[in-house]
Amino acid sequence: MAWDGARRYAGGMGLADACVADAVRLATAIIRGERFGDGTIAEAIADGTLSAVLARLRHWYEEECPTT
């Protein structure tokens, strides 16, 4: 709850260079935000935040994820 990443990565800015854990935290914040206020996901889509989260996660999966 005290994590400031929603403000730090407003509009997805800087998320591409962030650790993947911050992308997961931001995705969680967006989903949790929808629970408490309708339109949070729509706003994240409109301002590019959700796209940035997905792009960061995809990059991690394709380039950084350890193979098992």
- Would you kindly state where each structural domain of the chain is located, as residue ranges? 15-64
For the cut 70, the answer to whether the pLDDT of residue 34 exceeds it is: yes
Which pLDDT belongs to residue 68? 58
**Model confidence band, residue 1 (pLDDT cutoffs 50, 70, 90):** low
Using CB atoms within 10 Å of the CB of residue 68, give its burial: 0 to 12 exposed, 13 to 18 middle, 19+ buried.
Answer: exposed
In this structure, the chain runs to a length of 68
Q: What is the mean pLDDT of residues 36-62?
A: 96
What pLDDT score does 23 carry? Answer: 96
